[in-house]
Amino acid sequence: MVSAAGSFSRPPRFKPGDRVWVPARAALGHCRTPWYVRGKPGVVAAVHGSFRDPERLAYHRPGLPAQVLYKVRFRQLDVWPSYLAGQADHIEVDIYEPWLEPQP
């Protein structure tokens, strides 16, 4: 459920243009970070605002504090080892802040 789109419960860690990557760690139960972007590098395309954490909401917990949600853009070439079509092709995934780390 939409709780606070566009607003923030705490300052976002990342901003558009930041280079990030999705840590290749295991999910503990319900998770909205797809398997195919785990361990992959991307760029923050947009900052959506704060939303209640679905990983907690799924277990009847309030999901607070709200987590910042980002639109992260990945080059298809970085995501799929055998991606041949379209060097400029991208995939954009909405990812919650705990599932992003800054690229070194």
**Minimum distance from residue 103 beta carbon to other proteins (Å):** 20
Nearer to other proteins, 6 or 104 (CB): 6
How many other CB atoms are found less than 10 A from the CB of residue 77? 15
- CA atoms of 84 and 76, how far apart (whole Å): 9
Pick 11 or 59: Cβ nearer other proteins = 59
Q: Under the rule (CB under 8 A), what is the footprint of other proteins?
A: 1-2, 5, 26-27, 29-36, 48, 51, 54, 57-60, 63, 69, 71, 79-80, 83, 85-86, 88-96
Rounded Cα distance between 84 and 80, Å, is: 9
